Structure 1
Amino acid sequence: MEIRSKYIREQRRYSRKDLMDIFHLNQEETVVFIIKLKAYGVLKMVKATFKEKDLTDLIDEEIEIVDVEIETEGYYYVFTFVGVLTVGNIIIKCFPKYLLHKEAPLDEMKQVLKVLNHYNSKEQIINLFNGDNEQSAFNLLAVILYILNDYYENGLYTNQEDVIETNGDGEILWDNTINDTFAIICNNRPFYTELQTTNTVDDEMNYFKRLHQCILTECSKKLEDADLLELFEMDSVVISEEELSDFGDVDYVLYRLYRELNVQFSTRKQRVLKTIYAYILHSKDSEDNYGISMYGTNSFNLVWENVCAEVFNNQLSTTIGKMKLPMELHKDYQERKKDTLLEIIDKPIWRYFQSDGSGHDNPAKKTLKPDLISLYEKEAGMCFGIFDAKYYNIILEKGKVKGQPGVGDVTKQYLYQLAFNPFILKNRFACVQNAFLMPTEEEDALLNGEAEIEMLKGLSNPPLINILVVKIPAKQMYQYYLSGNKLDIHKEYLFL
């Protein structure tokens, strides 16, 4: 079966004819293709209007619920996913929407996939299924990637056995030595020229080690055939000439795996065995039924937020007693040293009026929550940065603005600044910066403009500042993120 591997831009508007041409599908195949992708929430439909064609973002109000088999014209199809999708023999490489000038951004996608892996690295589960339960489609791609990545990190599955050696380095087995060897008697004392010792060695012919080698070789071949080895920057693994059938029929192999699971207590070994079990049990059906596999996310905005928070050294959850401040913590906050910046924001009060006219205050549990707060040095002194990571493709030009955050987003940035103003003023920060941080494919950062709501600026004295619109090179941010380093904000971006 011919593999069709294609690049798709996230949130670009595609017509049905576009999809047919890109993936070489006929009308009937296209309907099945669309239905499958819609079922997993990675493809949406919007009305094909002139206004809609040039948009790069998607809001819930635009999404249409229509019968795919009936409607053939009048709609655009929008991929809301970043990563890799497989649908039968079709490989879809969905790249982020801010990559506007390349149709096949191989190098950029390699980096994005590393970022996705880093973002998910804290997860201890394997995404075996595309959904919340095992009735969902088996996620073959995620399982293959897990099996290979585990091998690169931990090596082959091995079992060890105890063997008896002659004059080895291990512990002496005196019973075996006395019973099985000859002694030289000197001065009524026995001397043994050959000592029986014990040693623990890897069982090179172990069934499960050989099975692991076979599965690894098969998984590597699948990625190679799908043109994905290079994209995931993986080396080819060819360490076995055996076929799965050499280990017995499927039921027998699964039975052996089940029994091995019951005697293994190593977490890593259990995880490898369970993943191989799932791979053998489901992979054939997944391929025969043209199932969907996916590696990525349909919420890349959360990834961008995490990248910005890590690289800009988010201080929101740091206790104020441990922060580097322009001066000693102001006396008004001395008793709140163990509070975080989030905890010093006022919470809403819901006041109940009793029959006698008195009131009872009920503080809410939640309050405003900024994306990230960064404290950094400038020539004038310490700066208090209130930043919001926005995954938008804004177009801000003379007489033109498109793809911008909503009025609610602008309002919240002013309110965050207002909430922190007492802390900023009393602890004598030299300046405040309030900004939206948006990704760009360009090499250099750009101060694109600012957002302003005049009536909100006067809520404070001194007046609240406007919200800057800053485009940040995603490539540079990912490099910092993957290396675990923090960015020197003012040194890199003089306008902040």
Structure 2
Amino acid sequence: MEVKDNFFKCFREFQRFKISDLMTNTDINKDYCQLQIEKLLQEKILMLDEDETYYFKFVGTINWIDRLIVIFPKYRELQNLNLAIEDKKYLKQLFDIFEMYNSKSKRTDTFFIETSNETEEYFSLFSLYKKLVEDYVQNNLYENENIVHELLGAGEIDWMRTVQDIQPNFSKNMQPRYLNYYTYNVEEEQQNYIKLIQKELLFKASEFFKQFEELELDIIELDFYFEEEVIGDLDYKINKIDLELREVFSESKIRLLNLMKQILKNLKHNKVNDLNLYGTKNFEKVWENICQNVFGH
């Protein structure tokens, strides 16, 4: 992805600024821009002061309109609004902290609780997309196996169905002999609905990670293109995955199906996922948690 001039915009948490500092491109849709601002204000990620200045109560990144907004912790000194080499190194450390915090298996993640009124952390989509890409690199696309039965076919003989469905002839010593028999072949179903969901999510993941290419975050590169429209809303897709989970026994497939289900739930319940948020409104809590984990105190 070719990075445009002034693609990165840097702020510190609680740093005051005018909204014009975000809207430097005169070609952007002002109505859409205002809608995104209202979303951030509603989620209390962006705050409005009494003197009509704004500030972020958030640490992380926001893919906003035509740029990537980077918000550092309040104690991080910034030389300018652009992203210097030292800032990239610091940001990589922040992402490592987020990943460490998010990967703690015993941490209760309120992101998927539908009754939760407020999302404090926005790590899940990044991590889930990363796992989806890693699974694709290792296992390729999801395939279903169809067993095709034929009478006197060229495949393996299906003795169980043959014995159940076909009347045998008996020899003089009463040994059953089958003049007809069923055979079966295992065929890969090349186009199935679950695979379409996977392709759609891989395309979303590919587009999601393009915004981070210049940050050198050691993310697996994926250029996955998929333009086909997958029929059904998010609830329908989740239901189809639930049905598939009842039919499969492969551990790798079960892991992938549950992963895609988590991503779909994430997309369903995240009110601002089109902004591609990655970070937290409670960085001090994340920092304390990681320090406690590292130092054991």
Please indicate, yes or no, whether the TM-score normalized by the shorter chain is above 0.5. Answer: yes
Amino acid at match of 2:264: I
Q: Offset at 1:305?
A: 2.0
Name structure 2 gaps, 5 residues minimum.
Answer: 247-253
> Does residue 1:150 correspond to 2:131, yes or no?
yes
Percent identity over the alignment is: 21
| CA distance in 2: counterparts of 1:35 and 1:127, whole angstroms | 21
Q: Comparing both structures, which one devotes a greater share of its residues to strand?
A: 1
1:31-78 deviations in whole A, cap 9, x for unaligned? 776654343233446xxxxxxxxxxxxxxxxxxx53xxxx44xx5x44
| CA distance in 2: counterparts of 1:196 and 1:106, whole angstroms | 64
1:111 alignment counterpart: 93
Q: How does 1:86-485 map to 2 (within 5 A)?
A: 86-100=63-77, 103-104=82-83, 105-121=87-103, 122=105, 123=107, 125=109, 127=111, 132-133=116-117, 144-155=125-136, 156-163=141-148, 173-176=159-162, 203-224=189-210, 227-231=211-215, 232-239=217-224, 241-244=226-229, 247-248=230-231, 250=232, 255=236, 257-262=238-243, 264-265=245-246, 266=254, 269-273=257-261, 275-276=263-264, 279=267, 292-312=275-295, 314=296, 372=297
Q: Offset at 1:116?
A: 0.3
Q: Comparing both structures, which one devotes a greater share of its residues to helix?
A: 2
Using structure 2 for the length normalisation, give the TM-score.
0.62
- From the superposition, tell whether residues 301 and 200 of structure 1 become closer, same or farther in structure 2 (CA, over 3 Å): farther
| CA distance in 2: counterparts of 1:130 and 1:5, whole angstroms | 34
What SS does the aligned partner of 2:111 have?
coil
| CA distance in 1: counterparts of 2:288 and 2:235, whole angstroms | 42
Task: Tell whether the 8 Å contact from 2:9 to 2:67 is kept in structure 1 after alignment.
Answer: no
Task: Tell whether the 8 Å contact from 2:59 to 2:73 is kept in structure 1 after alignment.
Answer: yes
- From the superposition, tell whether residues 79 and 94 of structure 1 become closer, same or farther in structure 2 (CA, over 3 Å): same
Q: CA RMSD in A?
A: 4.9
- From the superposition, tell whether residues 257 and 111 of structure 1 become closer, same or farther in structure 2 (CA, over 3 Å): same
2:15 alignment counterpart: 13
Task: Tell whether the 8 Å contact from 1:128 to 1:143 is kept in structure 2 after alignment.
Answer: no
- From the superposition, tell whether residues 132 and 85 of structure 1 become closer, same or farther in structure 2 (CA, over 3 Å): farther
- From the superposition, tell whether residues 199 and 82 of structure 1 become closer, same or farther in structure 2 (CA, over 3 Å): farther
1:160-194 deviations in whole A, cap 9, x for unaligned? 444559565xx9535438989xx9x9x998999xx
Q: Offset at 1:127?
A: 3.1
Larger relative CO (CA 8 A, sep 6+): 1 or 2? 2
Using structure 1 for the length normalisation, give the TM-score.
0.41
| CA distance in 1: counterparts of 2:185 and 2:108, whole angstroms | 34
1:40 alignment counterpart: 43
- From the superposition, tell whether residues 109 and 238 of structure 1 become closer, same or farther in structure 2 (CA, over 3 Å): same
Name structure 1 gaps, 5 residues minimum.
Answer: 46-64, 315-371, 373-496
| CA distance in 1: counterparts of 2:188 and 2:132, whole angstroms | 17
Paired residues, number = 265
